[in-house]
Structure 1
């Protein structure tokens, strides 16, 4: 029986996991999520709204506030917004994925991230364990396609790259496996939105 606060998934489902602070969630998140659903052949995507990002110096807005904003902007019924790390009692991505795999042993998870995150992926806690647990679905973002392709992670895992033309099969591959898709991208970012909010607040 699943713990309260965890989403439902049937055995065999292909579920993409998109983690982040979502501070705040914006149309760019919606865009890459819906592209990932379509291009990687996923049944669901779960937004994992994190309590905080250890790679970011400043703390995010309260978790409940970020989840509420995310649920308001993401209207696709195939996407579930959740504070799953609180329900699991985890903080690091490797622990979160391990916890989900224990609870959903027959679900085929894919870790989703932007190409900018692939560039710094080797700085993540136990990044090689993450890559060994689930396939990685990389969504290209403006200005990050070439840096991602030549990143340290991409060089180490170059033998495990799945061609973009076979992106629909990514969830079927045993990890390590990764695929980067190029899509028309929104240039919106949470950082830019927060900066605009601060600017407006100062004027008020």
Structure 2
């Protein structure tokens, strides 16, 4: 038994959604539900990160962000985790490598919004990430076209899976990626933080 880590068995299709979740909101829930359905996943794990090196502001304390995330979730197929803290990893490539070592036979899919695909080529060892796991992209407001013409999309254009076949993404050998269009939810953590700050003033 892996103490403090979620259960998974070989053959399961598990989506990994990383982020600061500062705070978690219905937009996160929406893309998670769409990912479960459209990518044919059995589970999704939210990887609540200790901090995001690409974001200048420090997030709220980890325990507060995890507690908030668990409040907004209602689907038993979704687990809120502090995996990166438990594994001692900060970079996505290291986290995925560690999880693949701990869960042999599990079919992981890295999930991210289309806005992240635009900057994905700036991530540490992004090509290693793409070579380790399929990537599921969820379109978000204003980012569909920028993502489609991003540097990463151009480099990996041969590995793109048509949206109509996205349900089998987890069974593809990486590199493989698919982008799905979902009903737009414009709620953002930035807006919620600003609103909370205004309300507390």
Instruction: Output the TM-score relative to the length of structure 1.
Output: 0.97
Offset at residue 20 of structure 1 (A)? 0.1
Q: Which residue of 2 aligns with 1:166?
A: 165
Aligned to 1:103: 102
Once the two structures are TM-superposed, the CA of residue 154 in structure 1 deviates from its matched residue by 0.2
1:47 is paired with a residue whose SS is strand
Aligned position for 2:4: 5
Q: Match of 1:125?
A: 124
Distance in 1, Cα, partners of 2:108 & 2:117: 18
- Which residue matches 1:199? 198
Give distance in 2, aligned partners of 1:176 and 1:199. Answer: 44
Q: Residue 69 of structure 1 aligns with which residue?
A: 68
1:75 Cα deviation after fit: 1.3
Query: RMSD across aligned C-alpha pairs, in angstroms?
Result: 0.6
**Mapped partners of 1:34, 1:198: distance in 2:** 29
| Distance in 2 of aligned mates of 1:141 and 1:89 | 30
Output the TM-score relative to the length of structure 2: 0.99
Question: How many residues are aligned here?
Answer: 201
Structure 1: tracts of 5 or more residues without a match: none
Distance across 1 between alignment mates of 2:8 and 2:25: 25
CA displacement at 1:201 relative to structure 2: 1.7
User: What stretches of structure 1 move > 4 A for 4+ residues in a row?
Assistant: none
Cα deviation, 1:84-141, whole Å, max 9, x if unaligned, reads 0011111110000000000001000000000000000001111110001000000000
Distance 2:137 2:191 in 1: 22
Identify unmatched segments of 5+ residues in structure 2: none
- Give, in angstroms, the shift of residue 174 of structure 1: 0.4
